[in-house]
Chains A and B, each alone.
Chain A
Amino acid sequence: MIKKMDKKTRDELIAKADKLLKYETDKVITWCSGCGNYGIQNALMRALVLEGLERKDFALFFDIGCSGNGSDKFEANTFHGLHGRIISTAAGAALANEKMKVLAFAGDGATFSEGVNHLVHGVRNNFPMIFVHHNNENYGLTIGQASATTRCGAKMNGTPGTVVIEPINTLQFVLSLDPTFVARGFSGDVDHLTELFRKAIQHKGFAYLEILQSCPTYNRTTPEDWYASRVKYVEDLKGYDRHDIWAARKLAQDMDKEIYLGLIYENTGRKDFLSLQSNRSGVKTALVEEVKHYDVKELI
């Protein structure tokens, strides 16, 4: 059951339609028809507009893969980096200019294979940024190889027979790292995803957002309707406490029958990385505003 945007929000969005259109590209989009990236990009644009962020207020950092190929199809300050490194690059950017919201996007390969160490330390350090994992359970841009989230039994390019190694339970992994914000959305539910993006933008610290993303070309194991018939919402769970790590971990265990979406876990008690830097407490400027000669006499 898809979550619909409330009327008030929809009206607000309609009123700000010109701002939305500003981010639209006139270039040819290279995603396949039915790709989950359309919905994700749409939700992102809406969230930015609803949160009142202008172009000067945010920067988007894209990893390599199908998601990354949208980097120049979003009319704003974007960065298209190297495979597996976008968390680090975006973290450096976020620390340099805390006055801009930094959002980073990556697929399965970057998040759980080539760059998994950066994910571990990004969460651990609680860098002030949003990280979005496009989980489409395969490597799309290299034409359908298995990823760390591909399910057993799937027949994938480059894997003899079928996939025989169990996938990583992504949220369990992240929840084990003492995160401060863990949410899951679905590319087929743009309204709900918009809300999750908004919450992530409001979060101070490392916001981890996983998006279950349909890949009509290469992921035939869990297509759009497979997810649509299984997703549930934590908002509908009576008495669910999103501050309870064990409740979150219990919820995250099921990847097959009832797949929960929403803000699954939040810890507002842990400070973000910048707030923990004692030598910068009370500093009002961002690092980008501080480049000048510094007297070194006292350091000698």
Chain B
Amino acid sequence: MNRFSIKIAGASGGGLLSTGDIILKALQNMGFYLVAEREYPSLIKGGHACFHITASEEPVYALREEVDLIMAIDSFSLKMYVDGLKDGGILVHGQERAIEGKEALEKAKAKGVKEVHLPIRTVALESGGNVLMSNVVLLGMMWKALGLPYAPIEAEVTERFKNKPKLLEADLKCLKAGFDRTEKIMDIKIPKKVPKTILMEGNKAIALGAVHAGCRAYFAYPMSPASTILTYMANFAEKTGMLVKQVEDEISVASMTLGAMHMGTRAFCATSGGGFDLMTETVSLAGMIECPLVICIAQRPGPATGMPTWTCQADLDLAIYSAHGEFAKLVIAVGDPYDAFDLTQHAFNYAEKFQIPVMLLTEKGIAETHWTIPMYEQEKIPIERGLVEGKELAELVNEDRYRITENGVSKRWIPGSSEAYYFANSDEHLEDGSLTEDAEPASKMIAKRMRKMETLLEALPEPEIYGDAKNADISFVGWGSSKNVMKDIIGQYTEKGVKVNYLHYSFMFPLKTAVLKKFFKENGNVHLIEGNYQGQLGNLIEAKTDLKFKGRLLKYNGRPFYLNDLEKFIDANK
């Protein structure tokens, strides 16, 4: 078998994370490509949670809702997750008493599930371990059921506990006991070679992108699913020398970021939709004083508190239409941890060159999902600041700062770097920033700022096509994490002889339409795929062009698009 999927389910905070990490690392070291999503409720302890992993010898990008194997750490997760097991799948559990999870086990039986069971607490104690090590027994059982060799998992457990030799000895005994007392069920082929990959999650990729782009200050107020960007930045701080500061609220986060950018460094912040609501006044200010600003919005379903630990693509409109007044802005959306590294760097370059706020969208389903990706190519994207530097600084006059130019972009320099100075004025202003409320200069300045939108649109890259560009049986247009499910589906349907292609937007707004129009012209059956109720990108496209989607595949239940969502839609619409 080339591709397999598993779920590790248990109580949040019950050692689930470390078990998941061990499995991922071991599989990666064996040469598997991986996708691993964390599903959990907005609780620290007591709720159910799971690691949803797909592994394959070939590159793999998306998940399927039903999995081949479930490893249930407790009876509650047995009950919660048994429905996600495919017919004839494998259920690994360690209930001591038959009464526990009885209902779930009956359900499993009806699905023809193969049960892999040991009384794991007893086995752990018998093997010289403690009750907490029953997870490790379970891990050994699962590993054997998959038909995987013992050595790689032994190596990873050893690596994990190498600093605790006493625990390690017992852990290894527990692992071995679970492994030895289980029958092999699946027969997974070990990859022939080990590709050079890194295991990366979306939020870490964004943090790394910002570090690489020369961001020197990170301000934050924690909010799921953006919080781990702060964690990474704080953990990196000793090495990067970056100033990392958790502040009192998102309003202050945005204000401090803008203040730091105004002075001429690169600063960054991230939040989710609700936090971004509080930041929007600052987005408007950035638009007015033409100060670069980069804000990451990690989307989760709203409105209000919504579902804090689940995913969606529902804040595109929020980003595009954020903040009062009319001004130029850019909205970028990442799709996976590989493009997130590059797009974060681009965000800073566009923000500085065009002196605009840039909203960088990600999703819970990217933020905390791991993929095996190729190592990043560093220094591929030059740092472009659009600043006046060197000799030219001496020639500047104050009015250069907001000079009415044809392309809307005026000169910007670091305050204090030139004799020329200016007023960064939230009031409407003249070319040196002096306040004006006179009709003619005000309208000229507003038009100048808006012209940056056209200049920016020219400069932006077109959306990218996956699969053959034309004559597809069915086509999709989308953004964000949809790219992952589409990449998998295109491969899968090519094997079936069905031509599927996909047009992916990374640069969302202002909207590029040339390649899009061609895509519609050359493909007769184009559908929208989006993780929201309204089809926000679809509506934007239909408003800006005379194009019309044949259909819309929309999902808004907090879950990402699974392969089976696409199969169902394609089979009905191809």
Which residues does A use to contact B, with CB under 8 Å? 27, 55-57, 59, 61, 64, 69, 71-72, 75-82, 85, 88-97, 99-100, 117-118, 120-121, 277-280, 283, 286-288, 290-300
Contact = CB atoms under 8 A, between A and B. Distances in A.
Given A91-B256, A96-B216, 13 more contacts: A72-B434, A79-B259, A80-B425, A82-B281, A92-B263, A92-B267, A93-B259, A287-B216, A294-B214, A294-B240, A296-B208, A296-B376, A296-B378
B416 interface: yes
Contacts of A71: 423, 425
Contacts of A88: 247, 251-252, 255-256, 259
A294 B259 contact: no
Contacts of A286: 265
Contacts of A118: 248, 251-252, 255
Given A77-B416, A82-B282, A88-B252, A290 B262 contact: no
A250 to B, nearest CB: 29
A200 B536 CA distance: 52
A88 B251 CA distance: 8
Nearest to A286: B265
A94 B265 CA distance: 11
B383 A293 contact: yes
B204 to A, nearest CB: 8
B128 interface: no
A121 B252 contact: yes
Contacts of A295: 212, 378
A95 B243 contact: yes
Given A78-B424, A118-B252, A298-B239, A100 B216 contact: no
A296 B208 CA distance: 6
A92 B421 CA distance: 19
Nearest to A283: B241
Contact of B243 (A277, A291, A294, A297): A277
B426 interface: yes
Contacts of B251: 85, 88, 118
B511 interface: no
A90 B259 contact: yes
Nearest to B432: A72
Contact of B256 (A64, A92, A283, A300): A92
Kindly name the residue among B237, B255, B262, B414 whose own CB sees the greatest number of chain A CB atoms within 10 A: B255
A88 to B, nearest CB: 4
Contacts of B241: 279-280, 283, 290
Contacts of A288: 216, 263-265, 414
Contacts of A57: 416
B265 A96 contact: yes
B208 A92 contact: no
B427 interface: yes
Chain B interface helix/strand/loop/mixed:
mixed
A89 to B, nearest CB: 4
Given A77-B415, A80-B425, A95 B208 contact: no
Given A76-B421, A290-B216, A92 B255 contact: yes
Contacts of A81: 255, 285, 426
A141 to B, nearest CB: 12
B13 to A, nearest CB: 26
Contacts of B419: 55-56
Contacts of B423: 71-72, 78-80
B186 interface: no
A92 B378 contact: no
Contacts of A77: 415-416, 421-422
A291 B267 contact: no
Contacts of B236: 299
Contacts of A79: 259, 262, 289, 423-424
A89 B259 contact: yes
Contacts of B198: 300
Contacts of A93: 259-260, 262-263
A295 B378 CA distance: 7
Given A292-B214, A299-B208, A95 B260 contact: yes
15 contacts: A59-B263, A72-B434, A77-B415, A79-B424, A85-B252, A95-B260, A99-B416, A100-B416, A287-B216, A287-B260, A287-B263, A291-B264, A293-B378, A295-B212, A295-B378
Contact of B216 (A78, A291, A300): A291
B258 interface: yes
B200 interface: yes
Contacts of A291: 214, 216, 264-266, 383, 385
A92 B219 contact: yes
Nearest to B281: A82
Contact of B249 (A69, A117, A278, A296): A117
A2 B225 CA distance: 58
Contacts of A78: 421, 423-425, 433
A295 B422 CA distance: 35
A82 B426 contact: yes
A11 B259 CA distance: 37
Nearest to B263: A96
Contacts of B255: 81-82, 85, 88-89, 92, 118
Contacts of B259: 61, 79, 88-94, 96
B238 interface: yes
Contacts of B267: 92, 96, 287
Contact of B264 (A82, A89, A96, A283): A96
